[in-house]
Amino acid sequence: MPSIIRPAVPDDLPAIESIAKRAYAPYIARIGRQPAPMLEDYSCLVLAAQVWVLEDQQAIAGFIVLLDAQETLLLDNLAVSPEAQGRGYGRQLLAFAEQQALAAGHSCVRLYTNQAMSENIALYGRHGYVETHRAVENGLHRVYMSKALD
């Protein structure tokens, strides 16, 4: 059965929170604290229709948080459960974000990630995202990236 991406509903919250905790846990030692996605209030984001889940075989394997930011779409968070990584789900969620941006009339997707998350920076780079700048916000060293869409 192929995977599907659908809007998250409140019943998805336990799976979303579990994926966020497990996917970002390896970065605690590198950053020296829990990454921001582990502390997020996903219930508010789900109620605001800003979270989509990727379901595979009736289980949630990943999710994405997309925020409309005036002229651009902000990819606020993308996480795939550790046991489902390596199956192309991150790539599917990135493509979904780009489709959503185009459907909303945006010509660009922006994102940021922690500079300690080198694997994520490399992943985004392989998918056409380019670094625009770096900044320190709330004590976190962030790398900002964007992708212009056709």
The CATH number of the domain where 75 resides is what? 3.40.630.30
Going by C-alpha positions, the residue among 132, 28, 51 that lies closest to residue 142 is 132
Does residue 82 form part of some domain? yes
Question: Could you tell me the pTM of the whole model?
Answer: 0.93
Does residue 126 form part of some domain? no
71 DSSP 8-state letter? T
Going by pLDDT thresholds of 50, 70 and 90, the confidence category of residue 1 is low
Does residue 72 form part of some domain? yes
Q: Which domain holds residue 102?
A: 4-106
Per the structure, the count of domains in the chain is: 1
Measured between alpha carbons, how far is residue 51 from residues 45, 111, 133 in Å? Answer: 6, 15, 26
Mean pLDDT for all residues in the chain:
93
Residues contacting 15, CB < 8 A, separation 6+ = 53, 59, 60
Does residue 146 form part of some domain? no
Span 22-80, pLDDT tens digits = 999 999 999 889 998 999 999 999 999 999 999 998 799 999 999 998 789 999 999 99
For residue 103, pLDDT beyond 70: yes
Measured between alpha carbons, how far is 46 from 39 in angstroms, rounded to an integer? 15
For residue 140, pLDDT beyond 90: no
Going by pLDDT thresholds of 50, 70 and 90, the confidence category of residue 105 is very high
